[in-house]
Amino acid sequence: MTAFPEFHWTDADGVEHVARWRSEAGSPPPRRAVVADDRTTADIAYRLACEGTSLVWQGDFQNARQLLQALARRIERRPKKAKPAAAPGDAFNLHRMAQAQRARTLGMLLIPLEADYSIALRRAPDLRAACEEAYGAGGERSIASLRELLGIVGAHEWRKKGVPVAALGGERIHPHYGVFSPVRGEYVELVARAPLPSTSLAFDIGVGTGVLAAVLASRGVERVVATDQDKRALACAAENVARLGYAQQVEIVEADLFPDGRAPLVVCNPPWVPARPSSPLEYAVYDPDSRMLRGFLSGLAAHLAPGGEGWLILSDFAEHLGLRTRDELLGWIDAAGLAVVGRDDVKPAHPKASDPTDPLHRARAAETTSLWRLAARN
């Protein structure tokens, strides 16, 4: 844990404390800290948090949760200046800025953790297993925002419960902390119904939870080589394919995009939005400058067996935000020596697509997810 900076504060009795700062987003520790407890009002806490002063909680844990909810309500009530409707790209940037400001403010309520991740507060739950899954083994005292800890608890519950996948006959995929969960099932369904060019071998580029590798194996592909660079994803995928009984068919390999060799089928579901992630947890959503997308396209022909296909699963959400054009995508495909031999489209059914209060509703309502079938040009 020595890679994490130290965080210092003085409690109400004048005792100085030091702990390792924990932030999965990579945020630096707050420069100022005061202690807070059950007597701290939401208005005072909100003012301090907005000023950049963190609150180290010493009261009842459940009261801290209520205080965090009160801070969130005050953020939502903050008056917003009436502005003309922004262009989609501007709306996206404003939305991300607002999200970042909200995260900073809510991230100022801090909870000290003992060396084994236990919490020495009244009515505190046992978060040791959840923290070990997210942070690894303990060893010394640390401190993290309550908001982050609640996210870790939520991820722990998803990992235990799993996400049912219709394309796997209702079997569940169990996402690890920091690995994108297949809650949006439309892209999985596209892979489940596309005609297979071969059942001998497939590459799955960017394996994540392993859901697409498992779907390919369930469809009878004899061998799937699935790659990723993220340690959490590699462990998550290996665990899922083993649980589903596909460990003999699916090989998990640490690699930057492609494994060695060629395959008659190469599948990739890259991040859909060409923007910079604000934390490692957003790597599965944001792809700066479309690096993974362009890397997959530029290297695909060299890794396709004769007559093989590359399946690119991609949403056009970025196009509706004005962050990428269809002509750009088609230009990258052409420049890579590839041809489009087919495309299957599906409309997302997630709740935000039908929520008119969502700041990005227009783009979400127009979004289409596609499986592009690509082949090397002769």
Secondary structure letter of residue 302 according to DSSP:
G
What's the pLDDT band for 81 if we cut at 50, 70, 90?
low
Rounded Cα distance, 262 and 191, in Å: 20
**Is the pLDDT assigned to residue 359 strictly greater than 80?**
no
Is there a contact between 188 and 172 (Cβ–Cβ < 8 Å)? Answer: no
Q: Are residues 147 and 259 in the same domain?
A: no
What's the pLDDT band for 2 if we cut at 50, 70, 90?
very low
The arithmetic mean of pLDDT across residues 279-283, rounded, is 79
Q: Give the domain range for residue 91.
A: 6-157
State which of 108, 130, 157 marks the end of a domain: 157
Task: Give the pLDDT confidence score for residue 352 in this predicted structure.
Answer: 66
| Higher per-residue confidence, 3 vs 347 | 347
Question: Within the chain, how many helices (H) and strands (E) appear?
Answer: 12, 15
pLDDT digits (tens, 9 = 90+) for 84-117: 556 777 888 888 899 999 999 999 999 999 999 9
Name residue 214's amino acid: A
Rounded Cα distance, 137 and 140, in Å: 10
The arithmetic mean of pLDDT across residues 272-288, rounded, is 85
State which of 107, 129, 157 marks the end of a domain: 157
H or E stretch at 143 = strand 142-145
Is there a contact between 375 and 339 (Cβ–Cβ < 8 Å)? Answer: yes
Task: Give the pLDDT confidence score for residue 25 in this predicted structure.
Answer: 87
The arithmetic mean of pLDDT across residues 285-293, rounded, is 93
Q: How far apart are the first and last CA of the chain?
A: 53
CB atoms within 10 A of CB 185: 19
Name residue 236's amino acid: C
- Residue 169's CATH number: 3.40.50.150
pLDDT digits (tens, 9 = 90+) for 207-263: 999 999 999 999 999 999 999 999 999 999 999 999 999 999 999 999 999 999 999
pTM over 0.75: yes
pLDDT digits (tens, 9 = 90+) for 145-178: 999 999 999 999 999 999 999 999 999 999 999 9
Task: Give the pLDDT confidence score for residue 360 in this predicted structure.
Answer: 78
Total structural domains within the chain: 2
> Where is average pLDDT lowest: 58-67, 122-131, 148-157, 349-358?
349-358
Q: Does residue 141 lie within any of the structural domains?
A: yes
Q: What angle do CA 122, 126, 127 make, to 5 degrees?
A: 115
Q: What is the DSSP string of 235-251?
A: HHHHHHHHHTT-TTTEE
Q: Are residues 214 and 289 in the same domain?
A: yes
**Is the pLDDT assigned to residue 354 strictly greater than 70?**
no
pLDDT digits (tens, 9 = 90+) for 315-332: 999 999 999 999 999 999
Task: Give the pLDDT confidence score for residue 87 in this predicted structure.
Answer: 78
Question: In a 3-state reduction of DSSP, which class is residue 46?
Answer: helix
Is there a contact between 224 and 217 (Cβ–Cβ < 8 Å)? Answer: yes
Q: Are residues 55 and 10 in the same domain?
A: yes
Q: Does residue 1 lie within any of the structural domains?
A: no
Rounded Cα distance, 236 and 253, in Å: 12
| Higher per-residue confidence, 12 vs 264 | 264
Q: Are residues 144 and 166 in the same domain?
A: no
Q: Are residues 368 and 315 in the same domain?
A: yes
Task: Give the pLDDT confidence score for residue 351 in this predicted structure.
Answer: 67
Q: Are residues 77 and 103 in the same domain?
A: yes
Pair type for strands 142-145 and 224-228 = unpaired
Q: Are residues 109 and 230 in the same domain?
A: no
The residues, any chain, with a CB within 8 Å of residue 133's CB and separated by 6 or more, are 152, 155, 156, 159, 176, 177
The arithmetic mean of pLDDT across residues 346-367, rounded, is 76
What's the pLDDT band for 279 if we cut at 50, 70, 90?
confident
**Is the pLDDT assigned to residue 350 strictly greater than 80?**
no
Is there a contact between 226 and 259 (Cβ–Cβ < 8 Å)? Answer: no
**Is the pLDDT assigned to residue 80 strictly greater than 80?**
no
Which residue has tokens 């910079």? 276
Q: Mean of the per-residue pLDDT values for the chain?
A: 93
Q: Are residues 307 and 350 in the same domain?
A: yes
State which of 157, 192, 211 marks the end of a domain: 157
Task: Give the pLDDT confidence score for residue 209 in this predicted structure.
Answer: 97
Q: Are residues 97 and 173 in the same domain?
A: no
Q: Are residues 189 and 310 in the same domain?
A: yes
The arithmetic mean of pLDDT across residues 35-60, rounded, is 98
